[in-house]
Amino acid sequence: MAAGPIIATHGTPVLQLRGISKRFGAVQALTDVDFEVREGEVVGLVGDNGAGKSTLIKCVAGIYTIDSGGVRFRGRPVTIHSPKEAADLGLEVVYQDLALADNLDIVQNMFLGRERGMPFWMDESSMERAARETLASLSVRTVKSVRTPVASLSGGQRQTVAIAKAVLWDSKVVLLDEPTAALGVAQTRQVLDLVRRLAEQGLGVVLISHNMADVFEVADRINVLYLGRMVAELPVKETTHSQVVELITAGRSGDLGLARPEQVTL
């Protein structure tokens, strides 16, 4: 693989993956993947279908165990065996299906499975206050009441609730899987603004998306996966849409990405 440009960024590395490999039977899903997220930045993670994006995220989230390689979180080696262990560290994933319960309100969804209180009694006032404070800290103004049933929310509002739920628990890294998929223009704008606010608050944010316009608008760096290999890590200000598309589809663009096969002389 050709060496990418040296990237000068601010922030301390909070999540570092080194040499991550994962196989499912005969299928090599990830091969020697390096990936890093720093405090206060948005990292775009892009790649075609089957490139390994979901597998990489599930390895980070503790859904899959890695076959080889190492993970460091806030500077120390960690082994993540389950989503709960990932959450306890400060890693939260917002999946594309959002995992929200339509029959519950915003507060109940944000605390689902982590309710405050004692057996047979929940501290509703404390949870409601925390939900309001979290939404306010993210400058969310599209939700009128935290007691609104999720079933009545728009797509953008639902995505906002899912993201707010992720940051409620003192998260350090939030991974967003296609957060603007199926959203209209105005709702997409709300979500992208929220993504930048997460970084401004010092969180590391990973944005997985097929929408290059969204990635280029909010990301500081773009990492490209191609057939399970990380072929490029690029600063947004020093790359173009066409370069990223070529890396996604062919694994290289000019001197970037996979090395070209050597010419064989007969």
Instruction: Quick: pLDDT tens for 80-102.
Output: 999 999 999 999 999 877 778 99
Q: What are phi and psi of 14, to 5 degrees?
A: -105, -30
Angle at 172 between CA 49 and CA 73, to 5 degrees: 80
Quick one: which of 71, 82, 15, 55 has its CA closest to 177?
A: 55
pLDDT per residue as tens digits for the range 228-245: 999 999 999 999 999 999
* Domains annotated on the chain, with CATH: 13-105+150-254 (3.40.50.300)
Does residue 52 surpass a pLDDT of 90?
Answer: yes
More confident residue, 22 or 116: 22
Mean pLDDT for the chain overall: 89
- Tokens 């890396």 belong to residue: 247
Quickly tell me which residue has 């605390």 as its tokens. Answer: 111
Q: How confident is the model at residue 139 (pLDDT cuts 50, 70, 90)?
A: confident
* pLDDT over 80 (residue 119): no
What value, to the nearest 5°, has the Cα angle with vertex 234 and ends 230 and 237? 160
Angle at 14 between CA 9 and CA 63, to 5 degrees: 130
The residue-averaged pLDDT of 121-136 equals: 91
pLDDT attached to residue 263: 43
C-alpha gyration radius of the chain: 19
pLDDT at 175: 95
Please give the pLDDT value at position 75.
92
pTM score of the predicted model: 0.87
pLDDT at 3 over 60: no
d(CA 55, CA 23): 10
> Does the pLDDT value for residue 227 go beyond 70?
yes
Give the pLDDT confidence of 152-198 residue by residue, as tens digits: 998 888 888 998 888 888 899 999 999 888 788 888 898 899 999 99
145-165 CB burial, b ≥16 within 10 A, e <16: ebeeebeebebbbbbbbbbbb
pLDDT tops 50 at residue 5: no
Read off φ and ψ for residue 101, nearest 5 degrees. Answer: -95, 115
Q: Which residue blocks in the chain are alpha helix, DSSP H?
A: 53-60, 83-89, 106-110, 124-137, 155-167, 185-200, 212-218, 241-250
pLDDT score of 2: 40
* pLDDT confidence of residue 223: 97
Where residue 1 falls among pLDDT bands split at 50, 70, 90? very low
